[in-house]
Chains A and B, each alone.
Chain A
Amino acid sequence: MSGVLVIAEHRQGELREATLEALGAALELAPQTGRQVVTAVLADDPQALAGPLMGRTHGLRLMAHPDLTAFNPEMYLPVLEDAIAAAEPGLILMPHSSQGMDLAPALAGRLGLPLVTDCIGLTYQDGALTAQRQVYGGKVSETLVLKPASMYVCTLQGGAFEAPETSAVDTAGEEITLTELSPAHARRFVEYVAGALEDVDIAAADILVSVGRGIGGPENVPLAEELADALGATVSCSRPVADVGWLPKSRQVGTSGKTVRPKVYLALGISGAFQHQAGMKNSGTIIAVNKDPRAPIFAVAHYGLVADLFEVLPKLKDKLAG
């Protein structure tokens, strides 16, 4: 194994935080591989994105072309193939994000490389990679030992690895201006679309009463609203509730929705999929109510109630009134 290649992620002129987490994972693995971490930045002006990477990667490969302004896997793939052929990394890391989910399987498929996605832990020993993952909605931990290979592609779960200090290593950069991109297919980026206008800003609430699939149906949402009113709180929800339209998308907490940090987060009937946890785990105090004692939400909650939320809701209201 010869070093780690991290593929930087950026959007609308800003480097995405998840890139730094990937660097944290890469630097942890670098001693095991005995080689260095190189970060590839593909952008119209990669130099402008390099600031946060300094001191966090040994090598920096800045590749510039106007068609790399917005992410497009068809533009990325041929550029990365060249970069990989030149650097021969043992491990290629990127975030398990909307970009990584597009790019990693395509890269692995194209180059015939082993792929492990959504990893929360990685170790490299005796020429083989071992990955930790969460499966079955976070209720089961999986350890995968891969067959020995000269190169692996991995995506990393957001929040699983910490960004390194800004002076972790010395960084040496290399700038490459690309003259021509040769996409295999004509996928075309059109535009970014911002989320719908919202009725309330759940990120501004001190207390959130958040409901999950356990709320059962739209007819039960008022039960949560009544409790929220009694607390001066705001109602939010997990993805399944917004997907079926019981509450508007603007109320959704999680990776694709909003990240919230209220003083109190009351999770009612939310199992706590990782994507949800990512949006609320930094709340001041998390209280989770769930019938299932093995619900993953209890892993991030400060207090847990194993109970039926339809019994808990009226009881809480009584206690507040009393």
Chain B
Amino acid sequence: MDILVLVKNVPEVAEADLEIEDNQIDLEDLVMGINEWDNYAVEEAVRLAEASGGGVTVMTLGDEEAEDVLRRGLAMGAGRAMHLCDEEFEGSDPATLARAFAAAIGDESYDLILCGVQSSDLGQASTGVLLAQVLNLPFATMAIGIETGEAEITVTRELEANTSERVVLPLPALVTVQSGINQPRYVSIMGIRKVRKMTIGLFEADDLGLDEDQVGEEASQVAGRALALPEVGEGAEMLNGSLDEICGRAVEIIREKGGLS
């Protein structure tokens, strides 16, 4: 089974102090890494390819630094990497990205295309399914299980409220992968070093036959975008004082509200 995985380089923001400049978050001091959902997708692809025979290709669209997520994919077991890297792509919306990915895929035939359900930065959860539409492929989102069969796969989709559903897709197909589907392997620095000499295919918009008006802001459906930091602790009464004091107060609240005497 030949599998393509789309991956994205994203900032880790969980404990970071974010700053906004010109309606972009300042990435200067942020650690970048593979989008969490994409990491699960790469792991799933490598496992499926190992079990069925076949290769894994990882593809990203991003700046030069985004090469790191491709190297990581190679270290996890992908055999080939493609990097769509061009300033022209900046400001693209998911539909535009989907068309760029489709152009990069061209005539190549994959049995399966995997994407993360969403990216942790913008969380639009739409590029994968939009790509399926451009390529005219059957698709399923929110996969927490993929079983392979004869020219088809059975996907377990996570629904709401601790329920899931099983659906069958004929191959080729596109599936978006939910976190927790597997336990992704650890990638060591040694592992990354081992793949440092592997060639990564580099593509600009021109190479994909895309004109200026087919990429970036011009092709995007968005006219304007503004970012803002919400008020800190909006809603919560922040307990102040020494550790001893705030914990003492917290225990009082738990006792009172929890009905403990």
Which residue numbers of A lie inside 8 Å of B, CB to CB? 11, 16, 70, 72-74, 96-98, 101-102, 104-106, 108-110, 114-115, 117-118, 128, 133-137, 139-147, 149, 184-195, 206-207, 213, 231-233, 239-240, 242-245, 249-250, 255-259, 263-264, 266, 271, 284-289, 291-294, 296, 298-307, 311-312, 315-316, 318-320
Contacts and interface: CB of A to CB of B under 8 A. Distances in A.
Nearest to A252: B162
A271 B229 CA distance: 15
A134 B18 CA distance: 14
A98 B233 contact: no
Contacts of A255: 160-161
Interface in B112-148: 117, 120-126, 128-130, 132-134, 136-142
Main secondary structure on chain A at its contact with chain B?
A: mixed
Contacts of A140: 18, 20, 25, 227-230
A193 B130 CA distance: 27
Contacts of B134: 109
Q: Which 6 A-B pairs have the closest CB atoms?
A: A109-B133, A195-B162, A243-B180, A185-B138, A105-B129, A114-B221
A29 B221 CA distance: 20
Interface stretch (B63-71, B194-202, B207-215, B249-257): B249-257
B168 A257 contact: no
A310 to B, nearest CB: 11
Interface stretch (B54-62, B84-92, B234-242): B234-242
B14 interface: yes
A101 B125 contact: yes
Contacts of A189: 165-167
A192 B25 CA distance: 41
Nearest to B128: A105
Contacts of B176: 101
Interface of B: 11, 13-18, 20, 25, 94-95, 98, 117, 120-126, 128-130, 132-134, 136-142, 154, 156-170, 176, 179-180, 183, 220-230, 232-239, 243-244, 246-248, 250-251, 253-254, 257-260
B236 A188 contact: no
A298 B13 contact: no
A285 B98 CA distance: 44
Contact of B251 (A298, A304, A316): A316
B126 A117 contact: yes
Contacts of A195: 162-164
A298 B235 contact: yes
B14 A137 contact: yes
Contacts of A231: 254, 258, 260
A98 B160 contact: yes
A242 B162 CA distance: 12
Nearest to A186: B170
B120 A187 contact: no
A71 to B, nearest CB: 8
Given A147-B221, A187-B168, A239 B162 contact: no
A316 B247 contact: yes
A60 B170 CA distance: 34
A151 to B, nearest CB: 11
A190 B154 contact: yes
B140 A102 contact: yes
B151 to A, nearest CB: 11
Contacts of A11: 159, 163
A161 B226 CA distance: 22
A70 to B, nearest CB: 7
B179 to A, nearest CB: 5
Contact of B13 (A139, A186, A213, A300): A139
